[in-house]
Amino acid sequence: MVPYSVFLLVSGLLFTLAERLWPRSPQPVNRKGYGLDIVYAVFNAEVVGSLVAIWLGGLYAGTRFLEWREPLGLNTLAAMPGWVQILALLTVKDFLQWGIHNMLHRVPALWEFHKTHHSTEVMDWLSNWRFHWFEIVVYQAILYLPANLLGFSAPVTFGCAVVSTTIGHFAHANLRWHIGPLKYIVNSPEMHVWHHVHPEAGPVNRNFAISIALWDWLFHTAYAPADPPARIGI
């Protein structure tokens, strides 16, 4: 976990600097809820993430489920270059996450957990970490088997985590950047801020993308007007 912790620290400092230079809306570093979000970041990234990984590893350690990788030819990806594996894992993982995220909004019992993430009223990169710990259980329990069945190595899994977390920080960041045609592929601040729109300020249940925005455009859940919403939160 040490390399990931260093990545979180360095990326956080870089995004904080970028938000000072190119803010979507002026706000202090120590904005409302900042201390709470630091607690969420440390707890979710360092504590819960590790515990869930240990739990899932132990859960499947005594089963023979993963022995199906070779008979089904699922180890093919493991022989490919690392960047191909990272791209493949990110694509599979992100599509599943898009579906899970959609479900978190539409199933009332799951929304009770997910609304913690939408409680932020002033958003920046650190808001990416404001979520209920149970979401990690839901996401990882569903994602664990596909990732392991395809035979991805630990370095590839780490690389995918770095890419997806960076995009998550970028999408939540208080940045006025517009990325042009890339908005159809990569999740971005101009799209994701509308996912957090307050119900009184615009349409809800849009822009479910975690990393890859393409899913929202394909399934007609994308919403990306030129200007940000007047209000976010619940």
pLDDT in tens, the chain (234 residues): 568 788 889 999 999 999 999 999 988 888 888 899 999 998 888 788 778 877 776 766 656 666 666 665 566 777 778 888 899 889 988 999 999 999 999 999 999 999 999 999 999 999 999 999 888 888 887 777 777 777 777 788 889 889 999 999 999 999 999 999 999 999 999 999 999 999 999 999 999 999 999 999 999 999 999 899 999 998
pLDDT at 71: 63
Residues 70, 92: Cα–Cα separation, whole Å: 19
Nearest to 118 by CA among 103, 130, 126, 104: 130
SS3 133: helix
pLDDT at 19: 95
pLDDT at 97: 92
SS3 173: coil
Which pTM value belongs to this model? 0.89
What are 158's two structure tokens?
A: 């780490």
| Cβ contacts of 84 within 8 Å, gap of 6 or more | 77
Residues facing 164 on adjacent strands: none
pLDDT at 62: 59
Nearest to 157 by CA among 143, 167, 168, 137: 143
Domain boundary assignment for the chain = 2-60+73-218
Q: What is the largest CA-CA distance in the chain?
A: 56
